[in-house]
Amino acid sequence: MNQGINLRILSLAGQVGVVMVVFILMGLVAGQWVDDRLGTSPTFTLVLILLGIGAAGWSIARLVMWALEGTSGEKVDPKD
């Protein structure tokens, strides 16, 4: 029965999407705030969005590696 593995994959996919959106939105909001304060129109917004994309990629890579390792120490049964 593959229900356990399917739920794990579905959970990971949801986490990846949320992490990507959160980091990019953080970069967008912070960049617009800095641009409003300094009067520089798209400069910091673009830079912080790109940093958000990089941070999201790094975080997703760590999340996937953690999920593949099975950090709780439990053995994942391929038949499960």
Q: Are 51 and 77 in contact (CB under 8 A)?
A: no
pLDDT tens-digit readout, 13-34 = 899 999 999 999 999 999 999 9
Structure tokens at 12: 């990971």
CA–CA dist 50, 54 (Å, integer): 6
pLDDT tens-digit readout, 39-53 = 998 999 999 999 999
CA–CA dist 20, 9 (Å, integer): 17
Residues 6+ apart with CB under 8 A from 59: 19, 23
Report the pLDDT value the prediction gives residue 65, as an integer from 0 to 100: 86
Question: How is 4-15 classified by DSSP, letter by letter?
Answer: HHHHHHHHHHHH
pLDDT tier at 66, thresholds 50, 70, 90 = confident
